[in-house]
């Protein structure tokens, strides 16, 4: 293990890259989740069809193939992304497809009375979702989003296959240079576990914050 710990500079760098991929990928996934989730319940059939096609394509195909397509195939058509950007886009688009279902389900879970109240207040569609529906749907989404965040963090390991120096890539380097297999991969497993634990705690804090707001809103309705 001491031989492995001698590589701590690149282990630290790999950890930072993994966290960077996770955070940026989560931002992309969150944006996509809301756009596609709301599009899935649009009153326009064409918008719903586009959302469904995106959803089924990214849920039904391999994240690795999607990443290879973005990084290796798109440049053939003149569209270039660096490795980090390609990894972030691939992870975000893939996880965003699953997140969109969480958004759609949470919005549909909001009671019909809230929609009727919005109409009574003469809210536009934007105002209805912005001020009434989305704030009540967010607490319902958070547990699923928390699980997807952990899945996204684990998915970043695939990015090592497009030369991104994340934890998995670093472990491979250490294995090659030291001829050790157990120690480097055991170490990055521990690091992944620590990152996941921190992410879970952050999601729990966010969930408690929104739950308090929801309870206050519910009490006010009563």
**8 A C-beta contact, residue 35 and residue 47:** no
CATH 3.50.50.60 fits 2-221, yes or no: no
Number of CB atoms found within 10 A of residue 183's CB: 17
Structure tokens at 38: 């709301």
Cα separation of 93 and 83, whole Å?
A: 15
What would the pLDDT profile of 140-191 be if each residue is shown by its tens digit? 999 999 999 999 999 999 998 888 888 899 889 888 888 888 888 999 999 9
Cα separation of 53 and 211, whole Å?
A: 33
Overall pTM surpassing 0.85 (yes/no): yes
Cα separation of 58 and 126, whole Å?
A: 27
What would the pLDDT profile of 103-127 be if each residue is shown by its tens digit? 999 998 888 888 788 888 888 878 8
Cα separation of 201 and 11, whole Å?
A: 23
pLDDT for res 114: 85
């Amino acid at each position: 293990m001491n031989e492995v710990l001698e590589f701590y500079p690149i282990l630290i760098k790999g950890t930072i890259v993994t966290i960077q991929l996770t955070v940026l990928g989560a931002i992309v996934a969150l944006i996509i989740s809301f756009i596609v989730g709301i599009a899935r319940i649009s009153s326009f059939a064409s918008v719903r069809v586009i959302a469904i096609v995106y959803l089924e394509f990214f849920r039904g195909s391999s994240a690795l193939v999607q990443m290879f397509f973005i990084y290796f195939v798109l440049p053939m058509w003149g569209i270039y992304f660096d490795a980090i950007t390609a990894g972030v886009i691939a992870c975000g688009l893939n996880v965003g497809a699953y997140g969109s279902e969480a958004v759609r389900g949470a919005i549909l879970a909001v009671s019909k009375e809230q929609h009727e109240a919005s109409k009574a207040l003469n809210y536009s569609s934007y105002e209805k979702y912005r001020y009434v529906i989305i704030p009540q749907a967010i607490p319902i989404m958070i547990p699923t989003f928390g699980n997807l965040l952990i899945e996204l963090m684990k998915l970043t390991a695939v990015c090592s296959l497009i030369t991104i120096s994340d934890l998995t890539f670093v472990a491979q380097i250490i294995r090659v240079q030291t001829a050790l297999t157990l120690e480097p991969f055991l170490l990055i497993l521990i690091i992944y576990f620590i990152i996941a634990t921190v992410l879970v705690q952050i999601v729990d804090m966010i969930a408690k914050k929104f739950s308090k707001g929801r309870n206050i809103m519910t009490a006010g309705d009563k």
